[in-house]
Amino acid sequence: MKKHIYILLALALLSGSCNDDEFLDRDPTQIIPSDKAYNSPELTLSILADLYNRYHDFGTVENWQSLSRFNVAFWSDNGSYGAFQNNGWGYGDWGTWDYGYIRDLNIFIEEVTASEGLEEALKTRFIAEARFLRASYYFTLVKRMGGVPLILEPLEYDYSGDPTYLQHSRETEAAVYDFVIQEAEEIRDVLPNDVNSKSRASMGAALAMQCRAALYAGSIAKYGATTPQVALPGGEVGIPADRADGYYTTALQAARKIINGEAGAYDLYQKKPDLADNFAGIFYDKASNPEAIFVEDYKLQTGKRHGFTISNQPRFGAEEEEGGRINPALNLVQSFETLNGEFEPLPNKDASGNYIAYDGIKDIFENRDARLEGTVIVPGSSFKGQEVDIFAGIQLPDGTVVSGDSRGQSKDIDGTSVQVVGFDGPIDGMEHVAQSGFYVRKYQDPKDGSGQRGVQSDVWFIRYRFGEVLLNAAEAAFELGQPDVAAEYMNRLRERAGITVPLAPGDITFDRIAHERFVELAFEGLYFFDLKRWRIAHTVMDGTEISETEIMENIGSATKRQTQPYGLWPYKIHDPGNADHQKYIYKIIRPSRVTASDRFRFGNYYSEIGQDILNNNPKIVKNPNH
C-alpha cells in the first residue's frame, strides 16, 4: 500500500513540475538569438567586427616571416634556418579553403537584409561591407587556389542523406576575378566616401581592391600564355589571353578614380623633410595619413596588438633581449637605385679588385634611393635614437681578420684591447643579430615600449595604399601601350624617394615596372603574387645557387635569380699610422646557414586542394601539376 502511495506521489510531482512553461522555455544567456542580434545596430556591428577580424592576409605584421619570404631577407632565428636549407615548398603551402568564413558572411548578408529593426542606411552600409569582405576573401582564394566554387548564400543541408545538391564545381579563374571586380563596382558607391575610414571598408578600399584584382587578372591572362603547364582545360586555372586588355583597362580606370580624388583626398604621404624618415613614416604614422587606404588596425592596452617590433628591433639596447629576425638581403639592398636613377652594385671594390676603404661606415650607402633607408636599417643608421652597431671584424694589414663569437667582444690587438665585432653582430649563425649586415625598418614602431613584451606595438598593417595604386596604374598603362602615363605615375613615387632624374616614356619596360614594385613594396606581402601572376617565379627561383659574381650582376632585371639571400658585412681596418686606419671595407658574404637554393615548381603556382575536399566533392578538379 505504501508503495502505491509513493508512486502516486512521484507521478503527481512529475506532472506538476511540467506545468511551468516559462521555467523550461527561457532565453539562453550565452547565445544571442539572431532576431535580437540583427535588430540591434551595436550587436550587428560587433558581428561585423568579428568578420573583419577574420580577413585573410598573406603577409601580416602579426607574422614576421610572412612579410619577408622568398629570399628578400635572411631570417636570423634559430628555428627558421630550415627555410634556407631546403629546396622549396610543398604543393599545399599557402593554401586556403575557409568556406566557414564565407558561410558566416553569407548568413550576415541574409540576416541583415531581412532585419526590420535596423535603419535602412545602416543596413546598406553593413551589407556593402560584408560584400567587400566576401569579395576580398574570394580574391584571396583565387590568388592562391585558382577558380573556386562561388557560394553566395548560406547552404542548408536537408538531412535527406544525399548531399550532392550542395556540391558545386569550380568556377573559372576569370569568373572569380570577374566576381570580385563586379562586386567592387556595385558596392563602391554605397560605401562611405571617407578618407578617414581606414580600418572599415570605404569607397577607396573597394576601388583599390578592384584595381588590384583587375591588374592581377590581366597579367595572368597575358603572361599565363608563357606557361601552358600552369593551366587547366576547364579554365579553373588560367585566363584566356584575349581578355588581358579588358582587365588592364578596368585596373587603370579604377586606379584613376582614386588618383583623381573621386574617392576622397588620398595622396602620397609627404610630411617629413627627411625622405627616408618620410618613407618609413607611411607605415607607422596613423594621424591623418593620406596614403593608407585600407588597413588592419591595432590598439595598445587591448588584445589587439602585435609584436613585429619585438621580433625585429635592433637587438643592441633593445627593450627586450631579442629582435633582429628579419635581415634584409643584399639582393634587395643593392636594388635601390642611385639618386640619378641608375642601377649599380654597392661599390665595395675598385676596378682593380681591391677593397674600397670608406671613412664612415654608412658612406657606401650614400646617394641611394631614400626608400633604401626607409625600408632597411643599414650599418651606421639609427633606430629609436640609438645607432646600430654592425661590423663583422677588424681587418689587419696582413690580410687577416680578427673577429669574435659574442656580441661586442673585445680582443687584444698589438697590446691594446679593441672591440672586434659589433653589438649587433654580424656573427654568423647567432640568432637575432644582423647576419646579413642589415635589419628591417619598414613596419618597425619607433614609439617607446613597442619593443617590450608587455606593451607591444599598435602599428597598423596597410593592405592597400596610394603608392601601390600608382604602381598598379603605371603597370596597367604600360601594358595598354601608354608608357607616358606609366612614367608620370612612377615618377611621382621616384620623386618622393629623392631620385633626381625622372623616367622618360621610353625608359618604361616590364623590368622597370617589376623593379619599382620590388623596391617600393618590399616587405608588404605583395612580392609573391607579382612573381606568380607574371609567371616568373620558376625562373627567379630555379633551384640554382647564386655565385658571388652573379649576385652583383643584372640588378634591376625582373628575372634575376633570387634563390638565396646574400649579405654585406663591414669590417674596420686596424692599421695605426696608415691613412686607412679606422676606415671601413665591405665584403659580400652568404650566411653559412644558407646551404640550399629555392626551386619554385610549376605545382607551386596554385596551391594543392586537400584530399578531404576532393573526397567530399567529386566535382572539384585538382590544380595543375598535382
Question: What is the rounded end-to-end Cα distance, in angstroms, of the chain?
Answer: 79
> Is residue 513 within 8 Å of 486, Cβ to Cβ?
yes
* CB nearer another protein, residue 228 or residue 273: 228
x/- binding map, residues 391-430, to another protein, per CB under 8 A?
----------------------------------------
Here the cell at position 412 is 687584444
> Is residue 566 within 8 Å of 553, Cβ to Cβ?
no
To the nearest whole angstrom, how small is the minimum distance from the Cβ of residue 543 to another protein? 6
Total number of residues binding another protein (CB under 8 A)? 20
* CB nearer another protein, residue 349 or residue 599: 599
x/- binding map, residues 335-354, to another protein, per CB under 8 A?
--------------------
* CB nearer another protein, residue 78 or residue 616: 616
Query: Residue 8 and residue 279: Cα distance in Å, rounded?
Result: 85
To the nearest whole angstrom, how small is the minimum distance from the Cβ of residue 611 to another protein? 5
Candidates 34-42, 185-193, 382-390, 538-546: pick the segment binding another protein (CB under 8 A): 538-546
x/- binding map, residues 55-94, to another protein, per CB under 8 A?
--------------------------------x-------
624 near another protein (CB under 8 A): yes
Candidates 299-307, 322-330, 372-380, 542-550: pick the segment binding another protein (CB under 8 A): 542-550
- Pick the binder of another protein from 100, 228, 233, 399 (CB under 8 A): 228
Here the cell at position 424 is 649587433
> Does the bond joining 426 to the residue before it have cis omega, within 30 degrees of 0?
yes
Amino acid at position 109, single letter:
I
* CB nearer another protein, residue 523 or residue 606: 606
* CB nearer another protein, residue 544 or residue 554: 544
Q: Which of 61, 60, 68 is nearest to 308 (CA)?
A: 61
Instruction: Give the residue carrying C-alpha cell 606609366.
Output: 486
Secondary structure (3-state) at 471: helix
To the nearest whole angstrom, how small is the minimum distance from the Cβ of residue 400 to another protein? 20
Phi and psi (nearest 5°) for 302?
-130, -175
HSE on the CB side for 391, CA within 13 Å? 28
545 near another protein (CB under 8 A): yes
Please name the helix (run of DSSP H) or strand (run of DSSP E) that holds residue 514, with its range, or none.
helix 510-520
Q: Which of 441, 429, 436, 442 is nearest to 330 (CA)?
A: 436
- Pick the binder of another protein from 46, 78, 182, 229 (CB under 8 A): 229
Helix axis angle, 203-223 relative to 120-145, nearest 10°? 20
Candidates 55-63, 66-74, 539-547, 576-584: pick the segment binding another protein (CB under 8 A): 539-547
For 398, which DSSP code? T
197 near another protein (CB under 8 A): no
To the nearest whole angstrom, how small is the minimum distance from the Cβ of residue 226 to another protein? 10
To the nearest whole angstrom, how small is the minimum distance from the Cβ of residue 237 to another protein? 12
- Pick the binder of another protein from 340, 544, 554, 582 (CB under 8 A): 544
User: How many CB atoms lie under 10 A from the CB of residue 418?
Assistant: 14
To the nearest whole angstrom, how small is the minimum distance from the Cβ of residue 86 to another protein? 9
Q: Considering only residues 592-621, where is the footprint of another protein by CB under 8 A?
A: 595-597, 599, 601-602, 611-612, 615
For 422, which DSSP code? B
Instruction: Give the residue carrying C-alpha cell 627558421.
Output: 80
In terms of phi and psi (left: phi > 0; alpha: psi -120 to 50; beta: otherwise), the region of 416 is: beta
Q: Which of 596, 551, 554 is nearest to 343 (CA)?
A: 554
How many distinct helices (H) and strands (E) make up the chain?
20, 14
To the nearest whole angstrom, how small is the minimum distance from the Cβ of residue 273 to another protein? 47
To the nearest whole angstrom, how small is the minimum distance from the Cβ of residue 626 to another protein? 7
Candidates 11-19, 181-189, 536-544, 553-561: pick the segment binding another protein (CB under 8 A): 536-544
Instruction: Give the residue carrying C-alpha cell 591572362.
Output: 221
Angle, vertex CA 500, rays to CA 267 and CA 337, nearest 5:
90
Q: Which of 86, 84, 89 is nearest to 567 (CA)?
A: 84
* CB nearer another protein, residue 17 or residue 595: 595
To the nearest whole angstrom, how small is the minimum distance from the Cβ of residue 151 to another protein? 23
Query: Residue 568 and residue 280: Cα distance in Å, rounded?
Result: 22
DSSP β-bridge partners for residue 75: 326
543 near another protein (CB under 8 A): yes
To the nearest whole angstrom, how small is the minimum distance from the Cβ of residue 404 to another protein? 25
To the nearest whole angstrom, how small is the minimum distance from the Cβ of residue 428 to another protein? 18
In terms of phi and psi (left: phi > 0; alpha: psi -120 to 50; beta: otherwise), the region of 554 is: left
331 near another protein (CB under 8 A): no
To the nearest whole angstrom, how small is the minimum distance from the Cβ of residue 87 to another protein? 6
> Is residue 605 within 8 Å of 230, Cβ to Cβ?
yes
For 368, which DSSP code? B
* CB nearer another protein, residue 142 or residue 541: 541
* CB nearer another protein, residue 182 or residue 595: 595
To the nearest whole angstrom, how small is the minimum distance from the Cβ of residue 446 to another protein? 40
What residues make contact with another protein under the rule CB under 8 A? 87, 228-229, 538, 543-545, 595-597, 599, 601-602, 611-612, 615, 622, 624-626
